[in-house]
Structure 1
Amino acid sequence: MLLLQTQNVLRRFGADVLFHKINLQVNEHDRIALVGRNGAGKTTLLKMIAGITTPDEGTISTSKNLSIGYLAQDQGLDSQHSIWAELDSVFADLHTLETQIHTFEHQLAQLTPGTPDYDLISKQYDRAQHDFQARGGFEINSKLRGMLTGFGFGPEMDDQPITALSGGQKTKLALSKILLQQPDLLILDEPTNHLDMDVLSWLEDYLKGYPGALLVVSHDRYFLDRIVTKVYDLDQGTLRHYTGNYSQFVNHKAQWLASEMKHYDQQQKEIAKLEDFVNRNLVRASTTKRAQARRKQLDKMEKMDRPMTDDQSIHFSFHSEYPSGNEVLTVTDLKIGYDEMTVAGPFSFEERQGQRLGIIGPNGIGKSTLLKTILGQLPPITGTIKLGANLQIGYYDQEQQQLHPDKTVLDEVWDEHPEIDETEIRTLLGSFLFTGEDVFKLVKDLSGGQKARLELTKLSFNPMNYLILDEPTNHLDIDSREVLETAINEFDGTVLFVSHDRYFINQVATHILAVNPDHATVYPGNYDDYLAATAPTASDTPTTNSQKAPSNQQQAYQQSKEVQRARRKIQRQVDDIEQQMEGLETKVNEIQAEMNRPELAADIGKLTDLQKDLDATQAQLEEVELAWASAAEELETFDQEN
């Protein structure tokens, strides 16, 4: 059933056209993502579809009595009510009906059964009771409790006034309220802001079972992959439709662009060929008619425009001058906090050269505080932090406090590198999409995304072998996030980062540090590996015969993930053994260097001890080399068989 349709919708922005020929359909139960670069007009289009604004041209038609719910980005509840009372107001009509039912019950108690008045009230009572039950009146409390629990509000917060809540909490309540209202078409603009991973997972599961249709704008690619089945791409001022989730859309769009470019190139060759024939033969009497025919063919040809896309991305890389030692970070019994007040801990973990350790945990648990403590910006409450040798640290601050508000973009970078000429600085800024007059903007006038790009500009300019990032994907559009992922994966140093972007974590992490109030645990692999490691086992989860068997597609997907997981396990084994080999080889070299010291030439006892240590280390190295050969062979066999 068709719920909503836009036809040739156009929006002007001053003298310019923001978008045109927008044709979009929303059917019952659709799960649609609207994607496009920042500034493409996604929010503007959502507001039109929601009926908040009207198009400059074109029409938007809806089915009869369609209910639409729209939640703007970071829109919070502004209410004097308590948390429970505000959400309970969604069911005001049911509470009115419940009051009416109680009135009927009181009236029936005063009347004699069998009388006309009794029969009339009894029928009204039965209808009201049936209506109340059919509309879920008996489940109101359970619905409210389930929604509040899902969004992280415990029973102790029921009576808390909304005015006392943080902006993020108000946004979560606004989302809770619109979900309880259950409109036929739910329109959400960046709904995952302020949500931690557990709440996100719960929301995704809830939206999968949502009875209405969903139209969503989000930078959260993991969320889009789990939820949507259709994608509308707002690019170059027009809208193109794709089937599948976000990852499938990326592949389909790349294929479409490649195909369009191929057809464009073929047509350009054909045009050049025809023009050359006309130019060579038009003046020759014997071939004039043929040349005129070719000219008519050219004139009638529907010329293709060169395929263009808004997907203009930053491009950069991180680089190091020299490698760090193998042991990069060792944290022992660390408690973190402010003003001698503990926020979390004790934590004990380590990070070795080449690892990319992603820190995850609930909002407010102290992830950013942990990074600042490691960097020495905050003192530890208790415990120790040991940084390795030869470290060059680069730090990305999500609060962007390393930027200077009153400097221009150009001076923000140039002042730190006055020895470099302006042309080179502006070339670097251009690779981060700061071009023309943009470089003379004041930092305080930049958007959040522009400030994020400027901080990455400064970071990429300096050599480093240990990269520490605090929420680096905040404010970045999807294209910029993907470029950042590539830069991190190509970086030959070590990375420690905090992020709530699960797709980003999956792409770059080699290990996960899951932070809890009183401990932290390291898991090998990326975010999906962490979920697999912490998921309840089959014996923990009761099953029933009513559970549906998975589809062939689901089984194939699961098998594919299991194959990938198995390969990563073997690859990690190979990597771990290689690290052991490097450590043992270093130890052998150190012992041999010690034995060659001139002052030990006459110290037979010391040399004997060193020789024993050398023999033992070399024997251990031989065993590890055999283990590596076996693991490498296992990996090669696995790749051949799969």
Structure 2
Amino acid sequence: MGAHLLGAEDLHLEYPTRVVLDQVTLGVNEGDRIGIVGRNGDGKSSLLGLLAGTITPQDGQVTHRNGLRVGMLSQSDGLNPAESVGHAIVGDRAEYEWAGQARIRDVIAGLVSDLDWHAPIGDLSGGQRRRVELAALLVGEWDLLILDEPTNHLDVEAITWLAGHVTHRWPPNAGGLLVVTHDRWFLDEVCTATWEVHDGIVEPFEGGYAAYVLARVERDRIAAATEAKRQNLMRKELAWLRRGAPARTSKPKFRIEAANALIADVPPVRNPLELQRLAVARLGKDVVDLEDASVSFDGHEVLHEITWRIGPGERAGVLGVNGAGKSTLLGLVSGSLEPTSGRVRRGKTVRIGILDQQFRRLAEIAGDRVREVLARTRTTFRVEGHDLTPAQLLERLGFAHEHLATRVGELSGGQKRRLQILLLLLDEPNVMILDEPTNDVDADMLAALEDLLDSWPGTLIVVSHDRYLVERVTDQQYALLDGRLRHVPGGVDEYLRLRAEEKAAAAASAGATPAAAGSSGVSGAELRAMQKRSRAIERRIDKLTLARQELQEQMAGVEPSDYEALTQLTGQLHAMDAEMAELEERWLELAEQLG
């Protein structure tokens, strides 16, 4: 176990209406990578605020190790709209100061390489601002990083980069990480321990998300009488983790024998043949066909000659960076947008339901109470052979009974999302489009949604940056790359590889600009050679930086009267500085050519 970073003793926090945390005692040590889960409103962000020192408890105390450097990313945006991207990230530091540090270069390349360094923050989208805020935090030197929903607004590439960064940022038994996120792939990839915040307590589990699901199923089995509903849902989740995702179950604390014993009687997550049969019965064989469909806005082509035949019961995930044209593609499928060229055909019986990001449908009923809204819907809904009332279905989605009297406009983001999903299901669409369905949704709610979708017999199209959700509920994945739709049999991993190749090709073509010192074009081999030289320069800069520090320490130990030794060491220092300046200049030239 690493050295102690911070400790909390008997923390008590309450608001006028409820107790958030009661007598919570915990500690964070060097090497800890802790993921924090729990339902929305149960106190995850409050816990982070207490540990960071931004919230004061009514009772108990938090103690930090002397000199502890804590870096925190909150959910609110603290950027100055008038500031430039570059200034927000590196401040007033001269270029040679930060460009010579491999970690800072990596953060900039990983998060903001596509942004204009001189653009004002006020001109950026929400996702771009989030990446700038993350980059500004990660270029700093911290002993403990506290991240509250860092993956919000990030695409699957940026999330993958962030997971790699925090995994390798410190040596294995150094530094500490506390992260609240609903991104279950990220939790599994990064965390070695999980804290569940519930009922005023913080319950620790060893391992990432998969190990936490296993431990929770075991815990719930022991308390089966009170936890029956949650337990059954989590057993299903465990069955999927165990049967479908070997990488997750190779992590520490995932005991395969225990998992097998707990899921011995759990049927497969989905019965694809039965769902296909039901989908054909409800839909017929023709659903939506896109044939050579292109879409242009103001002369700019967003989608190019896309052919996609969507069949009954198909469950497809659509991947792509922000701005790749995903919403445009959904518009073509749903009929809210017509192609500029090509055509779209829809089957006669198609009924399309859309879960959008804006809650447009709920705005019309904002003044109604939830109970009144449910009274106007159909009386029962069939799930896995059982008839449920709308209120029971809403409860199954994690909606508390006491909130049925609340007006729709007064619900929290997560509650609105639950009601929105319920109304969508009650409409009985046979084609469902989910556009970023994980916003405002906690991990338990996602498991409940996935559980309902498992038995839903229709065509499902999901656009999401939540890798876990896409892999969990869809059977095929497609990627939007350069305006074209491409089937990716290898799923998210294949998509990330294709994106890396696309970036390398873009960097190669960028080498043909005047910035590349008159180069008339760069071949793939030349590009790789430039990247190799760039990495070699980075390694040499890192070595020189260490050698310079050692030399300065050596000079500090020399007697002031020993002029000869001081002169010799000063000469070495000047030679190092000259080499460093030359290396940095060469690195910047290469960076410009590589884009």
1:486 maps onto 2:451 in alignment: yes
Structure 2 match to 1:151: 111
Cα gap change, 1:333 to 1:46, in 2 (>3 Å): same
- Structure 2's unaligned 5+ residue stretches are 237-269, 382-387, 502-524, 533-595
Whole-angstrom distance in 2 between the partners of 1:84 and 1:328 = 48
1:183 aligned partner = 142
Corresponding residue number in structure 1 for 2:333: 374
Q: Which of 440, 445, 451 is equivalent to 1:475? A: 440
Query: In 1, Cα distance between the equivalents of 2:62 and 2:230?
Result: 25
Does residue 255 of the first structure (1) align with residue 215 of the second (2)?
no
Of 28, 31, 34 in structure 2, the residue corresponding to residue 32 of structure 1 is 34
Q: Which residue of 2 aligns with 1:85?
A: 87
Shift of 1:67: 0.8
How far the C-alpha of 1:137 sits from its partner, in A, is 4.1
* Displacement of 1:11: 0.9
Please give the secondary structure, in 2, of the residue aligned with 1:254.
helix
Q: Which residue of 2 aligns with 1:164?
A: 123
Matched residue, 2:313: 354
The answer for the alignment partner of 1:43 in structure 2 is 45
* 1:406 aligned to which of 367, 380, 386: 367
Cα displacement (A) at 1:533: 8.5
Contact 2:217 2:231 in 1 (8 A): no
Q: 1:310 to 1:17 in 2, by over 3 A?
A: farther
- Verify the 8 A CA contact 1:231 1:243 in the aligned structure 2: yes
Alignment coverage as a number of residue pairs: 452
SS for the counterpart of 1:181 is coil
The amino acid across from 2:164 in the alignment is: D
Give the superposition deviation at 1:437: 5.2
Work out whether 1:197 is the aligned partner of 2:199: no
Say whether 1:322 aligns with 2:324: no
Question: What is the one-letter code of the residue matched to 1:412?
Answer: V
Q: Could you say if the C-alpha distance between residues 514 and 224 of structure 1 is closer, same or farther in structure 2, counting changes exceeding 3 Å?
A: same
Once the two structures are TM-superposed, the CA of residue 229 in structure 1 deviates from its matched residue by 0.6
Q: How far does residue 498 in structure 1 lie from its aligned partner after superposition?
A: 1.0
**Deviation larger for 501-510 or 482-491:** 482-491
Paired residue for 1:66? Answer: 68
Residue 524 of structure 1, CA deviation: 3.2
Contact 2:398 2:445 in 1 (8 A): no
Distance apart, 1:48 and its partner CA = 0.9
**Cα distance in 2 for residues equivalent to 1:88 and 1:200:** 22
Change in 2 beyond 3 A, CA 1:336/1:444: farther
The TM-score normalised by the length of structure 2 is 0.68
The aligned residue for residue 179 of structure 2 is 216
- Residues 313 and 510 of structure 1: is their aligned pair in 2 closer, same or farther, counting only changes over 3 Å? closer
Aligned equivalents of 2:412 and 2:298: distance in 1?
33
User: Does the aligned pair in 2 maintain the 1:485–1:507 contact within 8 Å?
Assistant: yes
TM-aligned CA distance change 1:484 to 1:10, over 3 Å: same
1:425-574 alignment, distance < 5 Å: 425-434=390-399, 436=401, 438-524=403-489, 526-528=491-493
Relative to 1, partners in 2 of residues 1:389 and 1:526: Cα closer, same or farther, differing over 3 Å? farther
Q: Residue in 2 aligned with 1:387?
A: 346
- Quote the offset at 1:18 in angstroms: 1.5
Q: Is the 8 A contact 2:150 2:181 kept in 1?
A: yes
More displaced stretch, 69-78 vs 474-483: 69-78
Are the aligned partners of 2:280 and 2:313 in contact in 1 as well (CA < 8 Å)? no
Given that residues 235 and 309 in structure 1 are in contact (C-alpha distance below 8 angstroms), is that contact kept between their aligned partners in structure 2? no
CA 1:84–1:452: 2 relative to 1, 3 Å = same
How far apart are residue 38 of structure 1 and its match?
Answer: 0.8
Give 3-state SS (helix, strand or coil) of 2:479's partner: strand
Structure 2 counterpart of 1:401, one-letter code: R
Taking the TM superposition and a 5 Å limit, the aligned residue runs for 1:238-249 are 238-249=201-212
Shift of 1:418: 9.5
Tell me, in whole angstroms, the C-alpha distance in 2 between the residues paired with 1:523 and 1:321.
25
User: In the TM superposition, what is the alpha-carbon distance from 1:15 to its structure 2 partner?
Assistant: 6.1
Give the residue type in structure 2 aligned to 1:489.
Answer: D
Identity %: 32
Distance 1:343 1:352, change over 3 A: same
How far apart, in 2, do the equivalents of 1:457 and 1:484 lie?
10
Aligned equivalent of 1:618: none
**C-alpha offsets along residues 192-246 of structure 1, whole Å, 9 cap, x if unaligned?**
0111111111111111111231110000001111111111111221112111111
Q: How does 1:10-25 map to 2 (within 5 A)?
A: 10-14=12-16, 16-25=18-27
- 8 Å CA contact 1:341–1:381 kept in 2: the answer is no
Check whether the contact 1:76–1:167 (CA below 8 A) recurs between aligned residues. Answer: no
CA separation in 1, counterparts of 2:125 and 2:352?
34
CA contact (8 A) 1:505 1:526 kept: no
Cα separation, 1, equivalents of 2:373 and 2:165: 45
**Alpha-carbon separation, structure 1, partners of 2:29 and 2:290:** 54
Change (3 A) 1:311 1:477: farther
What CA distance in whole angstroms lies between the structure 2 residues aligned with 1:139 and 1:357? 42
Cα 1:432/1:144, change in 2 over 3 Å: closer
Question: Residues 71 and 308 (structure 1 numbering): CA distance in 2 closer, same or farther, change over 3 Å?
Answer: farther
Shift of 1:528: 4.9
Per-residue CA distance 1:400-439 (angstroms, 9 max, x = gap)? 212223333234344455999xx95544444445555523
Displacement of 1:339: 6.8
Deviation at 1:395, TM superposition (A): 2.4
Q: Give the Cα–Cα distance (whole angstroms) in 2 for the partners of residues 334 and 312 of structure 1.
A: 44
The structure-2 alpha-carbon separation of the partners of 1:455 and 1:45, relative to structure 1 and needing over 3 Å to count, comes to same
In structure 1, give the amino acid aligned to 2:109: T
CA 1:310–1:417 in structure 2 vs 1: closer, same or farther (change >3 Å)? Answer: closer
Contact 2:35–2:193 at 8 Å: present in 1 too?
yes
Structure 2 distance, partners of 1:12, 1:399, is 32
- Conserved? CA contact 1:74–1:171, under 8 Å: no
CA–CA distance in 2 between the matches of 1:79 and 1:387? 45
Give 3-state SS (helix, strand or coil) of 1:504's partner: helix
Calculate the aligned-residue CA RMSD, in Å.
3.5
**1:52 Cα deviation after fit:** 0.8
User: Structure 1: how far apart are the matches of 2:209 and 2:347?
Assistant: 40
Query: Could you give the per-residue CA deviations for residues 23-74 of structure 1, whole angstroms, max 9, x where no partner exists?
Result: 2211113211111111111111111111112211112111110011111014
Q: SS where residue 346 of structure 1 aligns?
A: strand
Within 1, Cα distance between the matches of 2:475 and 2:46?
A: 39
For 2:41 and 2:400, the matched residues in 1 are separated by 17
Mapped partners of 1:186, 1:419: distance in 2: 48
Secondary structure of 1:322's counterpart equals helix
Q: CA deviation at 1:512?
A: 0.7
Partner Cα distance (2:288, 2:491) in 1: 19
2:290–2:343 contact (8 Å) kept in structure 1? yes
Range moving further from structure 2, 524-533 or 172-181: 524-533
- Which residue of structure 1 aligns with residue 251 of structure 2? none
In structure 2, the CA distance between the partners of 1:138 and 1:42, relative to structure 1 (3 Å rule), is closer
Whether contact under 8 Å (1:5, 1:26) holds in the other structure is yes
Is the 1:76–1:170 contact (alpha carbons within 8 Å) kept by the matching residues of 2? no
| 1:409/1:159 CA distance change after superposition, 3 Å | same
- Letter of the 2:86 counterpart: W
Preserved CA contact (<8 Å) 2:378 2:426: no
Q: How does 1:296-335 map to 2 (within 5 A)?
A: 322-335=281-294
Structure 1 residue 518 displacement after superposition: 2.3
Q: Aligned partners of 2:298 and 2:334: how far apart in 1?
A: 17
Matches of 1:214 and 1:389 in 2, distance apart? Answer: 53
